[in-house]
Amino acid sequence: MPGAVILGSSGGIGGALVHCLSETRPDLTIAGLHRNSTPRLDVCDEASIEEAARHCAALGPIGLVVNATGILAPEAAGPEKSWRTIDPAHMAKVFQVNAIGPALVIKHFLPLFLREGRCVYANLSARVGSIGDNHLGGWYSYRASKAALNQIVRTASVELRRKNSEAVCVALHPGTVATNLSGGFQATGLEVQDPATAAGRILKVIETLQPDQSGGFFDHHGKGIPW
């Protein structure tokens, strides 16, 4: 069976995805990569992404890549509540991790997919990256970086379809998950999932995705989210 690669596996969701796949799909070769893994993968370092892709290629055919990397804001800086607090250095860092990094992952990992047969690239995004669903404002850098990510995924899906008509390339909103990223920003009334629950839902959505859904933006229940 084609193997699976989970990027950002040191995080709450990424780690849970590796564990869930290991429990439910013992037939798969699973590679979990992060900044301290061997090989290391740092989305701010293209050389590490390229080396990680070479390592995964040597393991055999790849049928699933999930990019679970991302940041809400740089350390010691929270998401902006107003335009008055926009900081260009902070914004550049968020874009580097949430948009440019995933673009480089696509550059080096999507060529590993076979030319025939089902394969899936899923990048964790966020509902707040939806322009059409933005009614609260704030969080300029995070919202904009996820909107950029969604466009990158959409564009990559067009190119991937030309290479493999059965391939799927999507952005997924995992919901609100009890991780370090969301700590302190869990609004009252939201369903907060533990990482294991979120991972199970994400993998269920991935299992049901069809080629005609490639390029889409979906939540953890498989429901489409407006751009």
Residue 159, pLDDT above cutoff 90:
yes
Q: What is the pLDDT of residue 215?
A: 98
SS3 176: strand
CATH number of the domain residue 147 falls in: 3.40.50.720
Q: What is the pLDDT of residue 181?
A: 65
Q: How many angstroms separate the CA atoms of 144 and 45, rounded?
A: 21
pLDDT in tens, 20-73: 999 999 999 999 999 999 999 999 999 999 999 999 999 999 999 999 999 999
- Do the domain assignments include residue 93? yes
- Do the domain assignments include residue 44? yes
pLDDT in tens, 76-91: 889 999 999 999 999 9
- Do the domain assignments include residue 152? yes
Residue 219, pLDDT above cutoff 60:
yes
The answer to whether 12 and 179 are in contact (CB under 8 A) is: yes
Q: What is the pLDDT of residue 82?
A: 97
Q: What is the pLDDT of residue 179?
A: 81
Domain, as residue range, for 65: 3-219
- Do the domain assignments include residue 114? yes
Domain count, the chain: 1
> What proportion of the chain, given as a percentage, has pLDDT over 70?
96
- Do the domain assignments include residue 227? no
User: Residue 150: which of 204, 102, 79, 182 has the closest Cα?
Assistant: 102
The H or E element spanning position 32 is: strand 30-33
Model confidence band, residue 130 (pLDDT cutoffs 50, 70, 90): very high
pLDDT in tens, 168-202: 999 999 999 998 665 555 555 578 999 999 999 99
- Do the domain assignments include residue 210? yes
- Do the domain assignments include residue 226? no
Q: How many angstroms separate the CA atoms of 45 and 57, rounded?
A: 19
- Do the domain assignments include residue 224? no
pLDDT in tens, 89-126: 999 999 999 999 999 999 999 999 999 999 999 999 99
Q: How many angstroms separate the CA atoms of 157 and 168, rounded?
A: 7
- As a whole number, the mean pLDDT across the chain is 95
